[in-house]
Amino acid sequence: MGHLEQAGVRINMDGPSRVMDNLFRERLWWDVKYEDIYVPDYVNGRVLGEGLRGHFRFYNTEGATSGSGRSQS
């Protein structure tokens, strides 16, 4: 039995929930790629990691749509 099953977590990858999860992931990685990886000129992996931590901190505290000024509906 896996850790998630022991904790009582059920994972359902069928139907509408899978579609919404995929949409969330696609939008998240689009934001990461086009707003934080392709735009800045990172000189090495350490600076990239710092930039990504800052991006996710902003994403988690300010919201998914406030950073770019565009609607993601």
Is the residue at 27 inside a domain? yes
What confidence score (pLDDT) does residue 67 get?
46
Is the residue at 55 inside a domain? yes
Is the residue at 30 inside a domain? yes
C-alpha 57/C-alpha 59 separation (Å) is: 5
Split into its structural domains, the chain has a count of: 1
Q: Is 37 exposed, middle or buried (0-12, 13-18, 19+ CB in 10 A)?
A: middle
What confidence score (pLDDT) does residue 29 get?
86
Domain range for 14 is 3-62
Is the residue at 70 inside a domain? no
What confidence score (pLDDT) does residue 36 get?
80
Alpha helices, H only, the chain = 3-6, 16-31, 45-62
Is the residue at 73 inside a domain? no
Q: Is the entire prediction scored with pTM above 0.85?
A: no
For the chain (length 73 residues), average pLDDT per consecutive 10? Answer: 80 71 83 81 88 87 58 43
